[in-house]
Structure 1
Amino acid sequence: MRNWAKSRTRGRKLHSTGAKARAGRASKSRADLERQLKTCKQEIANARERLVEATKQQTATSEMLRIISDSPLQSVLDAVAEHAARLCDSNNAEIYRLDNNVLRLVASYGELPVHIQARGGFPANRDRVIGRAVCDRRSVHVHDLAAEDSEYPLGSSDAKRQGHRTTLGTPLLRERTPIGVILFRRWEVRPFSDNQIALLETFADQAAIAIENVRLLEAEKQRALALAHANRDLAQREAKVRRLVDANIIGIFIFDLEGRIVEANDAFLQMVGYDQEDFIAGSVRWADLTPPEWRDRDERAVTELKETGTVQPYEREYFRKDGSRVPILIGSAAFDEQRGHGVAFVLDLTERKQAEAEARQSEQKYREMQTELAHANRVATMGQLAASIAHEVKQPVAAMVTNAQAGLSWLGAQPPNLEKAWQTFGYIVSDGMRARDVVDRIRDMIKKAQPRKQLLNINDAVREVIELVRGETMKNGISVHTFLTEGTPPLEGDRVQLQQVMLNLVMNAVEAMNATSEDARELLISTRQTERDVVLVEVRDTGPGLAPATLNQLFDAFYTTKPGGLGLGLSICRSIIEAHGGRLSAKANVPRGAIFEFSLPAAPDVAKQPAVVSAT
């Protein structure tokens, strides 16, 4: 009994100990369960958070893809900026494209103002967050950019000026190559979470693909559009060429560089006398149309066409079918970049060449007629000077007779005075040479000869004319004065023609002064050199002068103010001066009279002499 009691007591003790152990185990299991429950709740919260973020990302991505499906690139960029800002709860998002190591703003969304320099571009260096993200090819997260003066000097300055703080830059990568960056900013210091950063990086990867696809699609559209425009332009050009070919305004043929003429219009066929079948059959090539002396020029034209695609127009000849030749003007252009085919434009120059030949003949006849008129004018002037010429010749002849008689007397003296005889014979020789010079000048003036150019001194030519008219001026009581600048550059021209001009002007002045009753009759002839290597000759008289109304007609052919005059003298003078490259003009002399002056260019490449004035 006692043993049973002990056993029962021991049993109760054991039961109590087991209950306590079970209670301890139950309490431990509950704590574990609570911990597990808490862990499960955390995992559920995390999963829910990830689900929300994934939903946001999926929503943003879906919306972005919807916009991409039928939107231009700028709309896609704007949508990416907006959805990126909303996705991570940032106050601002900006997208920058990388172009030649410069980051340029292409889209923005949010409350912060756009930096004025952003559209111009920032260098892709490490002084700003966007540059650092591109350089490192990773996201750059700065909790307070305004406080990072040393790390981001320019970016920190921007943050202080604009008032933003937390900044995140996420690069846009295409096969690990940066094409841009998305910049996220918050007003306050509120860092982005790791999940937000991871979410934005995923979004950035998808955005980079989307942006690049849209860019490629737009580029392809532009290429297709450009190709369509090019095809349309080509069709229009072909239509224009076809209309030009069919219009037969000028000769046109299409050729290849192997020598075949593929097609030719009727104008070209008529030009060379062939039929279209001759070229289509290949029996006639464009080299067959070329005379031997033009084949080298043909080869140069082919080389020019291959190198530049065009051949500038040049003159040449073609053989006609009957063996005769046709002068032409030809130019050509290649059809395409391969330059295997080209089109040639051919103009028949037959009529122009005939007109040029006729013009040359007319010009020759005109020159011959002008020479005849000039000669007739000189002869007429010599007729007017007949008395003066007779006086000029009579003086040395009379002196020769007188000296000859004196010489005979000295020889007949006893004894003969040989010294005096020799002296008088010398006088005879001088007088004879003087008479010869007068005759030579007259002969030069009246003889009919072709113009010839030579270097001449204008002062010498003027002096010879003055000697020729000395008798006429003395007979009419005219004082002749000269003001000749020595050292004027030589002229290149026909001496006789220029002296004819001088003679005409002097004789006109003499006649004009004979028509006035004024006592003072003075003739001043001067020469001088202007600043532009031009020699100026002036003839001034004190006659009645020129009526202003006559100045415009004075040098016209057949216009004259003289009774019985033909009106050719001044017209011929003007033609002579203009043929020498000069100019003849007239104006009033103050206080009375007229001034006729002509200018002539100095001979080229002649050394200049210092000018000295010789006045008489």
Structure 2
Amino acid sequence: MEVAFINLPFPCFVLNKALEIQTSSLYAKEIFPETNVFLDLIAHDCRQDARRYFTETIKSGPIELPMKAVSSFRFYQLYKSEDSLGNIVVYCFPLSTKAAELKMAMDRLEKKLLAFNLDLANRKEDMEKQAEEIKAGKVYSEDLERLAAGIAHEIRNPLTTVKGFIQLLKPELKEMGKEQYANVAIEEINRANTIIGEFLSATKPSARIRQKTSVNKLVKDVIMLYESESILRNIKLIPLFDEKDYSYQLDAPRMKQVLINLLKNAMEAIEVSENNAKREIKITTHAEPDSFSICIEDSGCGMDPGVLSQLFSPFYSTKSYGNGIGLNVCRKIIEDHNGTITVQSHAGQGSNFCITIQNPCC
């Protein structure tokens, strides 16, 4: 057994509990410098990971580490087992040059992400304080705009760097059959950027590009977007359109954003409701020459007075995955159109959101 071990065609080591080398294969002696301490063969910034790996349960899987050969560092995949004397047996399999380069690139990416997370954590307390001031209404609109731009800058810059790095790695990951990991990472970064964009929308006035828009058509377009999802969720969408269909000067894309947000919230409220017998959303329009209203009424879980009182506050959300920006943005868009958005709701009985726009410049 010992002869077979010594003649293995790849580096192998037998270590004691202190990670001192007891013996090694001939191949290991050829390519690694002489030392009694195994960690001396590991790149300095990876030694802590190596020590943790070798002191963990012996059943844990492999680890990839850069090891110092006679001429240069090279990545190896290390496996460990335990012999009858309780020693640690280490088997080292060299990675291909391409795999090693990919590993180094992934390590650099991991360090960038770690640095980003640490930086974000350091700023968290200050950002939370600023968010509380926004909630309390202590920050005026011009200050809020500057604050939003600052936060966006602090977060978007490292996100852009990380996204570019992942895109560079994507061809290599595709070759290895791991492209989905890059796709998921890029998708999450895009989602983070979207959230930042929503936050900026809540604070930064934008140019109003308005055109004549049919309210009934606007609502029909939004319903069409959610027809398939409503069927999958077994939710009935009931459009109740006013026969009078006036056209008004509206910022149609932003109005559509409001309706999409409200309809999405209505579906989610039905999904968490205990009332499974009635799963429907009524979308009602009412039009006059100088005003119109759109109401979205759901049979979902409803809300108690405590939730209703904070519903349109920035950063307030009842969802574990929510950011509390959506409804605040909706209200701002409606107010920009000289309108109001109101809600009636009772816990367990559903909610009714009503948008009313006065004098929308027919």
From the CA coordinates, give the structure whose radius of gyration is larger: 1
Select the structure that is richer in helix.
Answer: 1
TM-score band w.r.t. shorter chain: 0.3 to 0.5
TM-score, scaled to structure 2 = 0.43
TM-score, scaled to structure 1 = 0.26
| Higher relative contact order (CA closer than 8 Å, sequence separation 6+) | 2
